[in-house]
């Protein structure tokens, strides 16, 4: 059943460490700050996060909420949540609890939180309206939701070039629709409508650009191992792996600067809305 397989794309226990190390610093951590700026997380905030993964947003939110706040990080993948939970507490940051839970059934009471966050979880949810209704349910009146998701109209970098290189050599999809670029993106209007239909008000959903910086082409190619597509590369024989890596490198070459580092513009909807 396709939706189930897609939502389980991050269950491999080797993935969380690679995801965080290879994709966190250059991509997901800088985007986390953009999302947290948009929702203006205040000291003392009670925060719930959906599809929290390894905790890149979780820990940034906890720093902003400070000692008097608290964060509940949830995700459907036990592997992601185990890795998230294993991070030591940071001095001065809010305490973090974790729970394995689908976005549509959070283990929380109605109105329990001031802030509800979801960074790049929407592409994997079988029931996006249900997930946004759940954010609404767990927020107190006046609480704020923050959602980010890649936007259409731009190649989703680095994932589009990586996945395309694997598709070109006939590697199978790691989950149904895995090569369908449209399945990873939502327009500002689509996010706005999901929020409005769930009952949110004061909705601001806009495309935002962020220039991401990568140390080298090799680092960017290696980052495929932080995604569910990495196993496809590993499954190829040595010569074929080299070929695919070379194709990926070629696709990234237009962003290489004179010093060998890369600067790549990326585009997400950043949405903020009130309960």
Ligand X SMILES: C[S@@+](CC[C@H](N)C(=O)[O-])C[C@H]1O[C@@H](n2cnc3c(N)ncnc32)[C@H](O)[C@@H]1O
Residues in contact with ligand X by CB under 6 A are 7, 10, 28, 50-53, 56-57, 75-77, 80, 102-103, 119-121, 124-125
And the tokens for 14?
A: 């080797």
Name which of 1 and 254 has its Cβ closer to ligand X.
Answer: 1
Minimum CB separation of residue 105 from ligand X in Å reads 9
Q: Could you count the other beta carbons within 10 Å of the beta carbon of residue 82?
A: 15
CA distances from 160 to 6, 209, 248 (A): 17, 17, 10
DSSP H or E stretch at residue 113 = strand 113-119
Residues 209 and 267: their CA atoms lie apart, in Å, by 5
- For tokens 């959070």, the residue is 106
46, containing H or E segment: strand 46-49
Nearer to ligand X (CB atom), residue 57 or residue 145:
57
CB 62 within 8 A of CB 97: no
Pick the closer one to ligand X by CB: 207 or 249.
207
Instruction: Please tell me whether the peptide bond between 174 and the residue prior to it is cis, using omega within 30 degrees of 0.
Output: no
- The nearest distance, CB 29 to ligand X, in angstroms, is 8
Q: Which is nearer to ligand X, 102 or 161 (CB)?
A: 102
CB of 126 to ligand X, least distance (A): 6
Among left, alpha and beta (phi > 0; psi -120 to 50; other), residue 106 is beta
Q: Of the two residues 60 and 273, which places its CB atom closer to ligand X in the complex?
A: 60
Minimal distance in Å, beta carbon 246 to ligand X?
A: 26
Rounded distance between C-alpha atoms, residue 56 and residue 148, angstroms: 14
Of 78 and 142, nearer to ligand X (C-beta) is 78
Shortest approach of ligand X to residue 52 CB, angstroms?
A: 5
Quote the least distance from Cβ 103 to ligand X, whole Å. Answer: 4
Q: Which residue is nearest to ligand X (CB)?
A: 53
CA distance linking residue 205 with residue 146, whole number of Å: 9
Residue 54 or 190 having the CB closest to ligand X: 54
| Least distance in angstroms from the C-beta of 91 to ligand X | 23
Kindly report the backbone phi and psi dihedral angles of residue 259, in degrees, each rounded to the nearest multiple of 5, phi listed first.
Answer: -85, 5
């Amino acid at each position: 059943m396709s939706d189930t397989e897609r939502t389980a794309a991050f269950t491999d226990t080797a993935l969380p460490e690679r995801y965080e190390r290879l994709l966190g610093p250059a991509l997901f951590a800088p985007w986390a700050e953009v999302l947290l700026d948009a929702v203006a997380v205040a000291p003392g905030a009670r925060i719930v996060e959906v599809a929290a993964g390894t905790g890149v947003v979780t820990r940034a939110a906890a720093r902003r909420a400070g000692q008097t706040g608290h964060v509940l990080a949830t995700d459907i993948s036990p592997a992601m949540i185990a890795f998230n939970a294993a991070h030591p507490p940071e001095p001065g940051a809010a305490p973090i609890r974790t729970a394995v839970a689908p976005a549509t059934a959070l283990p929380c009471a109605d109105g329990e939180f001031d802030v509800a966050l979801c960074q790049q979880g929407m592409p994997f949810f079988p029931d996006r309206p249900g997930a946004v209704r759940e954010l609404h349910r767990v927020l107190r009146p006046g609480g704020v939701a923050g959602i980010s998701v890649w936007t259409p109209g731009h190649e989703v970098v680095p994932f589009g070039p990586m996945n395309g290189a694997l598709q070109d050599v006939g590697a199978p999809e790691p989950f149904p629709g895995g090569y369908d670029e449209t399945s990873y993106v939502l327009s500002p209007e689509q996010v706005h409508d999901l929020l409005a239909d769930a009952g949110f008000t004061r909705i601001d959903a806009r495309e935002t650009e962020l220039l991401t910086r990568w140390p080298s082409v090799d680092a960017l190619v290696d980052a495929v191992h932080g995604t569910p597509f990495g196993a496809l590369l590993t499954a190829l024989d040595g010569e074929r792996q080299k070929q695919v890596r070379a194709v990926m490198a070629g696709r990234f070459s237009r962003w290489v600067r004179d010093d060998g580092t890369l600067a790549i513009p990326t585009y997400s909807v950043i949405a903020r809305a009130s309960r």
